[in-house]
Amino acid sequence: MRLASLFLALTAALSAQHKPITPAGAAKPVGPYSPALDTGQYVYVSGQGANDRSGAIPAGIEAQTRQCLANVRLNLEAAGLEFRHVIGAQLYLVDMDNLPTVERLWTELLGASQPPRITLGATQLPTGTPIEITVIARRTAGDRVYLNPIYAQTRQQAEKQLAAALRKVGLSRKHLAMANWYTTGPHAPGVIDVAALPDRAQWAVAAIASKRKETRTAFCEVVSPAAAGTVEHQTTDAFAALKTCLAKHGATLASVAATNVYLADIADFARMNAIYASMFTGAFPTRTTIQSVPPAKAQFAVRLSAIAEMP
C-alpha cells in the first residue's frame, strides 16, 4: 500500500511539473506529441513547420520561414515567454540553398542576441514542410550551457573546436552533459547521418555543458537494431533501449520532456506514431521528426534522442 501511494505521489509530481501547452491559432499536431511542454524552469517546443492553422503551407521559402517562426512564437507566448528566452534551437532544411533567406529572417527577428542553433539538412520532413524549427527556452538563469554549434571537415577538427569552445566558457570535457554528432560522410557508429551541413561541412556537433553535475536531467540517444524487423518492431526496440538509458539516470518515460525521432523513411511516420503513442500514459513530450538521409543510406529504421526532466 505504501509503495502504491509513493508511486501515485511521484506520478502526480511529474504531471504537475510537465504541463502541456497547446496555443490557440497554432498549427495542429500531426502526431502524438505536445506542441510545447512547460517543465518549470524550461519550456520545450516541438518542431514547428511551415503549416498554418489550417495545415496549408504558403508558397516560397520566405513566407514558409515566416510562418514557421510565427508558429514557434505562438508556442513561446502561450508559455508566457518570448524569443529572448530561447537558449537553444535546431533548424532542419530540406534544401540547404534556402539557408541565406532563413538566416536573414532569423536575424531580423532575433537581432544580434541569437541563441546557439544547429542547422541540419534533411531529406524529408512531416507534412511536406521544407523547414522545421524546434527550440528550448529558459525562464531563469541556470547551470546548463548550450554551446554554439561546430562545423568542420573532419571529426578531429570538430573535436579541437569543441575543446576550445568549452575553455572559452571556463569549462572542460568533464562538464559535457550531451554532445550530438552529425556527418554527411560515411556512416560512423554513434553519429547521426544528415543530408547536408552549412558551408558544405562534413561534420558537426551540438553540445550542452553544465557547470554542475546534472542530477535532475537525463540525456539519452538510442538506435534500433539495423534492419531488424518492421518499423513497429524497431520502434518498440528503440523504446526498450530508451527505457534502459533513462533507468540509469533514475528516470522513466513519464520524465521525458522532449524527443527527436529520426526515421529511415518518412513514409513510416503513421506506423511509428501508433507505437510511439502507446508508450506514454501521461502528457506527451514535445517531438521533432526527421528523415535525415535517403532510405538507402540510413543505418537504422528508428533512432530516438530524449531529454528527461525529473522533479
Q: Read off the pLDDT of residues 236-246 as tens digits, 9 standing for 90 and up.
A: 999 999 999 99
Contacts by 101-105, CB closer than 8 A, 24 or more apart: 101/61, 101/62, 101/65, 102/61, 102/65, 102/131, 105/62, 105/65, 105/66, 105/69
Q: Detail the DSSP E strand segments found in 153-239.
A: 176-183, 192-193, 203-210, 217-223
Lowest mean pLDDT among 13-17, 53-57, 141-145: 13-17
The three cell numbers locating residue 234:
524497431
Decide: 158 and 150 in contact? Cβ < 8 Å.
yes
Mean pLDDT of 171-180: 94
Instruction: Name the DSSP letter for residue 231.
Output: H
Q: Could you give the CA distance from residue 264 to residue 268 in angstroms, rounded to a whole number?
A: 8
CA angle 140, 144, 145 (to 5 degrees): 110
User: Which pLDDT belongs to residue 228?
Assistant: 65
Query: Who's near 59: CB < 8 A, 6+ residues apart?
Result: none
Question: Which cell goes with 262?
Answer: 529520426
**Residue 17: what pLDDT?**
79
Fold of 13-309: 60s Ribosomal Protein L30; Chain: A; (3.30.1330)
Amino acid letter, 48: Q
**pLDDT exceeds 60 at position 214:** yes
The reported pLDDT for the residue numbered 226 is 56
- 271-296 average pLDDT score: 95
Q: Residue range 61-73: average pLDDT?
A: 97
Nearest to 72 by CA among 20, 26, 112: 26
φ/ψ bin of 24: left (φ > 0), alpha (ψ from -120 to 50), beta (otherwise) = beta
Task: Parse the chain into domains and list their residue ranges.
Answer: 13-309
Looking at residue 225, its pLDDT comes to 64
pLDDT for res 1: 45
Query: Is the confidence at residue 4, as pLDDT, over 60?
Result: no
What is the structure's pLDDT at 210?
92
Which residues lie below 8 Å from residue 200, measured CB to CB, with a gap of 6+? none
Q: What is the mean pLDDT of the chain?
A: 91
Mean pLDDT of 230-234: 91
Per-residue confidence (pLDDT) for residue 5, from 0 to 100: 43
Pairwise pLDDT comparison (270 vs 7), residue with the higher score? 270
Cell of 195: 543530408
Would residue 143 be called left, alpha or beta, if left means φ above 0 and alpha means ψ between -120 and 50 degrees? alpha
Half-sphere exposure of 104 (CA within 13 A, CB side): 7
Q: What is the pLDDT of residue 227?
A: 57
Range of weakest confidence among 114-123, 180-189, 226-235: 226-235
